[in-house]
Structure 1
Amino acid sequence: MTIEAHRDTRETRHLSALDAAIDILTDARGDSYSPDQAFDELLDTSMRHQVDIGDLAEALADLAEGVDPPDGHRRAREVAGRAWASLLH
Structure 2
Amino acid sequence: MTIEAHRDTRATRHLSALDAAIQILTTARGSSYSADQAFDELLDSSMRHQVDVGDLAEALADLADGIHPGADDHRRARDVATREWGALLSGNTG
| Alignment TM-score > 0.5, same fold | yes
Shift of 1:83: 0.1
Contact 1:42-1:53 at 8 Å conserved across structures:
yes
Cα distance in 2 for partners of 1:77, 1:69 equals 9
Q: Contact (CA 8 Å) 1:24, 1:61: kept in 2 or not?
A: yes
Q: CA deviation at 1:68?
A: 1.2
Report the AA paired with residue 21 of structure 1. Answer: A
Aligned pairs, how many?
Answer: 84
Provide the residue aligned with 1:85 in structure 2. Answer: 86
* Pairs within 5 Å for 1:1-89: 9-70=9-70, 71-89=72-90
Task: Tell me if structure 2 keeps the 8 A contact 1:69–1:77.
Answer: no
Q: State the secondary structure of the residue aligned to 2:33.
A: coil
Gaps of 5+ in 1: none
Query: Deviation digits for residues 13-42 of structure 1, max 9, x if unmatched?
Result: 000000000000000000000000000000
TM-score (norm 1): 0.89
1-side partners of 2:18 and 2:47: how far apart? 15
Q: What is the alpha-carbon root mean square deviation over aligned residues?
A: 1.5
Query: Letter of the aligned partner of 1:87 in structure 2?
Result: L
Cα distance in structure 1, aligned partners of 2:13 and 2:20: 10
Q: TM-score of the superposition, structure 2-length normalised? A: 0.85
